[in-house]
Amino acid sequence: MLANNNLKICHTLAWRDFRFHKAKNLLLAFAMVLITGLYTFTFLLGSSVENAFLLNYEYQYGSTSHILFHGLTPHQADKLAQHPNVKSTVQISALGQLSDEMMGVRSVKLAVTDQGYAESILSVPTTGRLPEKAGEIALDEFTMDSLGVLHELGAPVSVQWTDSKGGQHSTDFILCGWWASPTNFTEACAWVTAECAAGLLPGYPDTASVTLGVDLHQPKELEQQARQIMADQGVNVVGIVLDAIDASGGANEETVEKAKLLAEQTGVTYPFLIPDETLLNGRLAGINAVPETFFVDKDGNIVGETYSGSRSLESWTEVVENEKQGVTQ
């Protein structure tokens, strides 16, 4: 009894109003279409710009990951992956590196297949597939040409490789896939299965070298953030300005200011120390080349090996982890 269905009348009134204000309503409808198109274009443009940036980043650095940590143990990789600023990770376990003299300066890891890591370094086969059975291998075309491998699925592949302890190996595989690797990439992967790795490397996976690719929640200063991740594990870096002392034993203000300027220009964030007479006549007296790096434990004792020259962040990460293991043993 209370029902009062005036829907038909409402439709009639709405249509009459639309016809009465036809020009205005058509203009509003056109404006809505334009706004919808503008928002769609904006989102598509933003997505395209992001994809172009990631592609350029990948071509420049060889990976879409924000940070790459090399030479880790499985335990160390898991610990880094749990850092609160880490959004996602990809990783591979490397048995060693291809050591054929025809490889030249390229570094090709013999590594266990990982789809996510392969996608992050543009190393997914476009012909064939990733290895699924022991004895299969997937390579990039540049490596295939260097080794003289035929571009045919099922072609025999003889690989000479060196494990992390310097042991030399020669292993025969069957080609199951390949892809065209950018020529500016100085590092690549030769993919094998975990089953194959277990047969080639005693103690796998504990004895494999892990490379961890890290994506951060808020990537900004990547080098600084990489150091922070390491610092959160209990490692800090301190620089020493060797020539900051004048003949009287005091600080040379001109040298100190130059050191500050150099640190600012290079973006260095760790602190610098001005050595006193004790340091200059002690540990620092034997330094005849710079930069030289040594490690000090929490009690002030000099520990581990001494390292001369500069290194990449990935190389220093491996050195730090090795020295930390030596301190805890």
Q: What is the CATH number of the domain that holds 238?
A: 3.40.30
Query: Are 121 and 91 a contacting pair, CB within 8 Å?
Result: no
- 3-state secondary structure at position 217: coil
| Whether residues 89 and 158 fall in one domain | yes
- Give the pLDDT score at 203: 84
- Give the pLDDT score at 115: 92
In a domain? residue 194: yes
| Whether residues 198 and 75 fall in one domain | yes
User: Which one of 186, 215, 244 terminates a domain?
Assistant: 215
In a domain? residue 9: no
Query: Are 264 and 220 a contacting pair, CB within 8 Å?
Result: no
User: Which one of 185, 215, 245 terminates a domain?
Assistant: 215
Residue 223, CA atoms < 13 Å, CB-side half-sphere: 9
How far apart, in Å, are the Cα atoms of 191 and each of 7, 161, 175? Answer: 67, 13, 10
- Give the pLDDT score at 280: 61
- Candidates 218, 217, 133, 219; CA nearest to 175 is 133
Range of the domain at 308: 220-328
In a domain? residue 290: yes
| Whether residues 159 and 186 fall in one domain | yes
- Torsion angle (degrees, nearest 10) of CA 70, 73, 79, 80: 0
Run of H or E residues at 261: helix 253-266
Query: Are 300 and 278 a contacting pair, CB within 8 Å?
Result: no
In a domain? residue 13: no
| Whether residues 72 and 149 fall in one domain | yes
- Residue 124, Cβ density class (10 Å: 0-12 exposed, 13-18 middle, ≥19 buried): middle
User: Which one of 162, 190, 215 terminates a domain?
Assistant: 215
Query: Between β-strands 209-216 and 107-112, what pairing exists: parallel, antiparallel or unpaired?
Result: unpaired
- Give the pLDDT score at 266: 60
In a domain? residue 12: no
| Whether residues 165 and 75 fall in one domain | yes
Please tell me what DSSP assigns to residue 41: H
Query: Between β-strands 239-240 and 107-112, what pairing exists: parallel, antiparallel or unpaired?
Result: unpaired
State how far the Cα of 229 lies from the Cα of 215, in Å rounded to an integer: 12
Domain count, the chain: 3
Beta strands in 113-204 (DSSP E): 127-128, 136-140, 156-163, 168-179, 187-192
In a domain? residue 2: no
| Whether residues 280 and 210 fall in one domain | no
- Give the pLDDT score at 289: 60
In a domain? residue 5: no
Q: What is the pLDDT along the chain (329 residues), one digit of tens a residue?
A: 455 567 777 777 777 777 777 787 788 888 889 999 888 888 888 878 877 766 666 666 667 788 887 777 787 788 888 888 889 999 988 888 888 877 766 778 899 999 999 988 888 999 999 999 999 999 999 899 989 999 999 999 999 998 877 788 999 999 999 999 766 565 689 999 999 999 998 888 877 888 888 888 887 777 777 777 777 766 666 777 766 666 666 667 777 777 777 766 666 666 676 766 666 666 666 665 667 777 777 777 777 777 766 666 667 777 777 777 766 55
Look up residue 46 and give its two tokens. Answer: 């933003």
- Give the pLDDT score at 290: 64
| Whether residues 36 and 82 fall in one domain | no
| Whether residues 42 and 125 fall in one domain | no
- Give the pLDDT score at 250: 67
| Whether residues 206 and 267 fall in one domain | no
| Other residues' Cβ atoms within 10 Å of the Cβ of residue 319 | 17
Residue 90, CA atoms < 13 Å, CB-side half-sphere: 17
Residue 151 phi, psi dihedral angles, 5° rounding: -85, 65
The number of helix segments (H) and strand segments (E) in the chain equals 10, 13
- Give the pLDDT score at 135: 93
Please tell me what DSSP assigns to residue 105: T
Radius of gyration of the CA atoms of the chain, in A:
30
Query: Are 255 and 262 a contacting pair, CB within 8 Å?
Result: no
